[in-house]
Amino acid sequence: MFAVRGIAVSLSVFVIVYCAASLVVLVTWRNVWSRWQRQSVHRRADWLFFLRMLPLISAVLITAAFAVPSFLLFEPRSIEEPLGSVTVTLAFLALTLVGFGVWKSLAALHRSWQKISEWTRAAENLETDAPVSVLRVSGAAVAMTAAGIVRPRILLSDAARTLLSPNELRTALNHEWAHVRRYDNFRKLLLQLAVFPPMSGLEAAWLEAIEMAADDAAVSNTSEALDLASALIKLSRSAQLAPPIELTAALVHSPAAVVDARVKRLIAWQAASRPKRHRPSIWCTLPAALATIAIFAFTYNELLVRVHTATEWLVR
């Protein structure tokens, strides 16, 4: 019974933190979104992904670092307390969220594996300058997409090879390589785990940001920007495009409005206005990290006592 109570309390803390953090993120991100427009799309994409995953990260860390240890240390093992209805309800909700997230992830993996296997059944390796394998696929396949998580590949359809010029093809391949380099397909898989339907707007903003970030990574001058814009226009108008699947990063994967915004942005591309990425120095963040660790080291036991007191009502 002690173990059952501990699991129920831990799941209850998890779902409370997860839902509360999700609501805070939903309220916060729209208020700060206008300020992020001045930052590079790479940084916006990273921040959006971090915000989307923050509720899950917070819930797991707080549960593992505080809820579980406080229960094991301070909850009497000899007392048999029945589980309250609040605890049972919250634990069931946590299991539902986790189970649905796992199911979504496995289902997305299965659908992606099936479709990629179908596309690559008679694929042919192409000799290119891309750092990953490029496979020529035939039939009703996406025009160009980065597929795979463990073994990423770029799939190129016959239709795309016919429509695009050599320069357009090269910049389009660079776009897909940028998705591979940033592990965007793996990030999409993680989003399947973090179930919270009201987050769809934030996820859509992230998907738009990663496409624009890949556009920026693919071009280094005005000529390349125009080549990529031309490739987007040609492929978006092609009638031979197959619908994309979740865990891939297709060149033309987003809604028509987003593709149009990407094309306009590329046409107006200027080297002088291209945002530069500034990585914070470790010497700027190290003092804050060490101070945070020191504070937790000195107050950890007291925090566990307070957490146990706060969770006492869950087992009543």
DSSP string, 238-258: -TTPPPP-TTEEETT-S-HHH
Selection from 132, 91, 127, 129 nearest residue 4 by Cα: 91
Distance CA 247, CA 109 (A): 7
Selection from 129, 149, 153 nearest residue 141 by Cα: 153
Contact 194, 53 (CB under 8 A): yes
pLDDT for 182 equals 92
Per-residue pLDDT of the chain (316 residues; tens, 9 = 90+): 778 888 888 999 999 999 999 999 998 887 776 666 667 888 889 989 999 999 999 999 999 999 888 888 887 776 666 677 888 899 999 999 999 999 999 999 999 998 888 888 878 888 877 788 888 887 656 788 999 898 899 998 888 888 899 999 999 999 999 999 999 999 999 999 999 988 988 999 899 999 999 999 999 899 999 999 999 998 888 755 566 688 999 888 767 778 888 999 999 887 544 555 555 555 566 677 777 778 777 788 888 888 888 887 766 6
Dihedral class, residue 113 (left if φ above 0, else alpha if ψ from -120 to 50, else beta)? alpha
